[in-house]
Amino acid sequence: MSCTPSDPLSTDVAVIGGGIIGLGIALEAQRAGHRIMLIDPEPARGATYAAAGMLAPVSELHYQEEDLLTLTLASAARWPGFARALADEGYPDIGFRTTPTLALGANAADRNALAQLREAQAKLGLDVARLSIREARKLEPLLSPDLVAAHLIAEDHQVDPRAVAAAIEARLLAAAQRSGHRADETVVRTRAVELLHENPANTRPRTRGVLLDDGREVHAREVVIANGLGATQLGGLPENLMLPLRPVHGDILRLRVPEHLRELCTATLRGMVRGLPVYLVPRNDGTVVIGATAREDGRDGVNAGAVHQLLRDAQALLPAVAELELLESTARARPGTPDNAPLLGRVEGPDGREMPGLLIATGFFRHGVLLTPIAAHIITELLAGVNDPAWDRFRPDRFSPALQEH
């Protein structure tokens, strides 16, 4: 430890939070020519570490998030290009798969729920094909013959979030190095403690950087808050800005498919099993991800009852799950919001005008992976001064009545 205060670090854009959202924003900002600095004590070890990586705007409609549909569809449409751009830059291994999703029901009530959902999906012009169980088992021979409903959603794909995060971090570091910047000043593995402002007492303060946990200051032209649930812990947030984030925990399992079951399944399977959702995402590397519960009990550890439920219900879809090797049980909290939509964009300052130098991208709940390309695009456009009013409904200050009064 040095006893003399160190020189401040400086960058164009400081991104607080190295989950997939922060990484995606840093990536697009770097491509747009900004020098970036990503600040996170452990990048990609939060909700991103647990995420299954389904890119599923159609099946996710299930959870009463119709408002989000324009955003999720826009982001799903961007994923192929997002993946291709990374591949063109030398990072092809992100597990992007355009295999379809099968929605499955285990009993009559589940079948009714899926039928209602399909009606809603059809009304919105979304492509969902009803299959017989026989047809579904032609596609996926190991599906349980006891299932009673199957829908094919051709456009819901998947990606491997850990692989995406690793690819983006490597890309950020490689590009920074080519520009002569240090790796440890591109991805700064420290906690961000507080926003720094010019004229803090003024009605027109301007964010000018971030104070780090180790006492260093980062000076930045723009600061993006993208650290999920951690956003509310930051000092120096605009007064009266409400970020109504709550932790919604999910338990998720990773399993290995043994050799004799290599053809376990190709599609992503999403089941309703006696009223409870379960999904099963097969990966290119011979593993399978099974999730996910949504708990609001505030407990950080893996819940034994949830693991039991996931294994039970996954076997109801695919009995051969009993043969798999359990590699990992993980629980993480996702940042939920009152309307299940993200908090994304600039915020109003005390004078009722947009606060310069500050952007927010959090509250992505269960859609962080899907929404990464569009969030990165929207934030990078805002950095360039371009504001698409289509996304105003996701402004981060929409739950802050005092600010909305202006």
The pair of structure tokens assigned to 210 is 């971030």
- As beta bridge partners, residue 131 has 150
Residues 340-399 that bind a second copy (CB under 8 A): none
Identify each DSSP E strand in 96-182 by its residue range. Answer: 101-105, 129-131, 149-153, 157-158
Phi/psi of residue 242, nearest 5 degrees: -100, 125
Of the pair 283, 346, the CB lying nearest a second copy is at 283
- Both tokens of 158, joined, read 């998947």
Mark the segment that binds a second copy (CB under 8 A) among 47-55, 323-331, 335-343, 351-359: 323-331
Q: Which stretch binds a second copy (CB under 8 A): 169-177, 253-261, 272-280, 384-392?
A: 253-261
Are the beta carbons of 104 and 270 closer than 8 angstroms? yes
Contact set for a second copy, span 21-60 (CB under 8 A): none
30 vs 329, which CB is nearer to a second copy?
329
User: Is position 298 an interface residue for a second copy (rule: CB under 8 A)?
Assistant: no
Residues 302-321 close enough to bind a second copy by CB under 8 A: 302-305, 307-308, 311-312, 315, 321
Q: Could you say whether residue 256 binds a second copy (CB under 8 A)?
A: yes
Is residue 274 near a second copy by the rule CB under 8 A? no
Per rule CB under 8 A, is residue 273 in the interface with a second copy?
no
How far apart CA 255 and CA 258 sit, in angstroms, is: 9
Q: Which is nearer to a second copy, 21 or 307 (CB)?
A: 307
Binding a second copy (rule: CB under 8 A), the pick from 42, 66, 239, 325 is 325
Contact status: 12 vs a second copy (CB under 8 A): no
Residue whose C-alpha is closest to residue 261's, from 99, 158, 136, 142: 142
Find where tokens 């997939």 sit: 20
Residue 156's nearest CA partner among 136, 193, 128 is: 128
Residue 299 sits in the site that holds a second copy (CB under 8 A): yes
Report which of 185, 166, 181 is spatially closest to residue 90, judged by C-alpha positions: 166
Interacting residues toward a second copy by CB under 8 A = 253, 255-256, 258, 299, 301-305, 307-308, 311-312, 315, 321-327, 329
